[in-house]
Amino acid sequence: MRDYICRAGITGLSTSIPEKVLTNYDLEKMVETSDDWINARTGIKERRIVENDKTTCDLACEAGQNALENAGIGPEELDLVIVATNTPDMIFPATACLVQDRIGAVNAGAFDLLAGCTGFIYGLTVGQQYVAAGAYDKVLVIGAETLSKIINWKDRNTCVLFGDGAGAAVVQQVPREYGIISSVLGSDGSGGKLLKLPAGGSKLPASEETVRQGLHYVDMSGREVFKFAVRAMGEGTRKALSKAGMGSEDLDLLIPHQANIRIIDTAAKKAGIDMDRVLVNVDRFGNTSTASVPIALCEAVEQGKIKRGDNIVMVGFGAGLTWASLLMTWY
């Protein structure tokens, strides 16, 4: 492990969860599917959907402001705001800048981070570098999504999987025996075609034709992504532990990206971790992409499943293709 000036850890956490619940039974009325199929193939029972007039920035601000409160710091103390998202309010300006303005982080820089569903773990790693190097004191990392706005609600292959939400963490210096110990970032762009939003960028600018062909919706090769996910999550977990000289027996809780219970089960098995040490809430939220790990982390802390001194690993995969894992001793 490299020498840093100090250890960086999470000092505040919060979420923003939309009120509206969309169950598998609701979806049965929208596409040809069933609660049985969705539950058996994914473990999802329901997900949350934002109101039409709400945006990713709205969810990000709520989660971010509450995380600052939880950390006991004011917005003007922030040095940096990072928003990991696949569903920014606009292509530009960055949603992070909208958040920075709305929450009053007047002394902070701000940028969006695009790494598929892995974005939050990428963001934590970036925030950690600034804090541990002594460059910045306080960084706000947010994972926020309104995936419901880019899903084809007539496509049963994708519309049953995703949900909306946000989670945020404040990254600051913590005592040496706590905080982030290791992280692993990975990318395999050759798999970029497996999970994409084809139009709206410079390759296929928005036109009547792209809209007619439904190219502004999530396009996914589910089976291929599944195979990649199982491998990436299993290996990612093992690598974060081994980089810190630890084994699976040293882990207290695994916080995996919540995409599919079968992916989580198999990946945990591959990493040698029994399901008693794995946080699962995919049944209630579906795949909220960058928000899934911070929502699960926050839930684990609130439910007392994580206590000071516990070793936890966050692991995720997503569009890119990307994957990442991060090991920290909870402060």
Active-site positions?
A: 117, 257, 287
**In angstroms, rounded to a whole number, what is the distance separating the alpha carbons of residues 259 and 219?**
16
Q: Which of residues 302-331 bind ligand ACO (CB under 6 A)?
A: 318-319
Rule CB under 6 A: is residue 117 a binding residue for ligand ACO? yes
- Residue 287 is given by DSSP the state B
**In angstroms, rounded to a whole number, what is the distance separating the alpha carbons of residues 283 and 258?**
9
Rule CB under 6 A: is residue 85 a binding residue for ligand ACO? no
Which x/- pattern, by CB under 6 A, does the window 139-158 give for ligand ACO? -----------------xx-
Number of Cβ within a 10 Å radius of residue 19: 8
Structure tokens that stand for 53 in this block: 């007039």
Rule CB under 6 A: is residue 33 a binding residue for ligand ACO? yes
Residues with Cβ within 8 Å of residue 304, at least 6 apart in sequence = none
Work out which of 82, 108, 131, 160 binds ligand ACO, going by CB under 6 A. Answer: 160
**Shortest Cβ 98–ligand ACO spacing (Å):** 22
Phi, psi of 9, deg, nearest 5 = -145, 180
Rule CB under 6 A: is residue 11 a binding residue for ligand ACO? no
**In angstroms, rounded to a whole number, what is the distance separating the alpha carbons of residues 210 and 294?**
34
Rule CB under 6 A: is residue 35 a binding residue for ligand ACO? no
Residues with Cβ within 8 Å of residue 276, at least 6 apart in sequence = none
**Shortest Cβ 283–ligand ACO spacing (Å):** 14
Number of Cβ within a 10 Å radius of residue 37: 15
Work out which of 95, 129, 260, 325 binds ligand ACO, going by CB under 6 A. Answer: 260
* H-only helix segments in 73-194: 95-103, 119-132, 156-159
**Shortest Cβ 36–ligand ACO spacing (Å):** 9
- Residue 87 or 173 having the CB closest to ligand ACO: 87
**Shortest Cβ 279–ligand ACO spacing (Å):** 17
**In angstroms, rounded to a whole number, what is the distance separating the alpha carbons of residues 329 and 175?**
11
Which x/- pattern, by CB under 6 A, does the window 205-234 give for ligand ACO? ---------------x-xx-xx--x-----
Residues with Cβ within 8 Å of residue 298, at least 6 apart in sequence = 13, 14, 15, 167
The residues that touch ligand ACO, with contacts defined as CB under 6 A, are 33, 37-38, 41-42, 116-117, 156-157, 160, 195, 220, 222-223, 225-226, 229, 259-260, 287, 289, 318-319
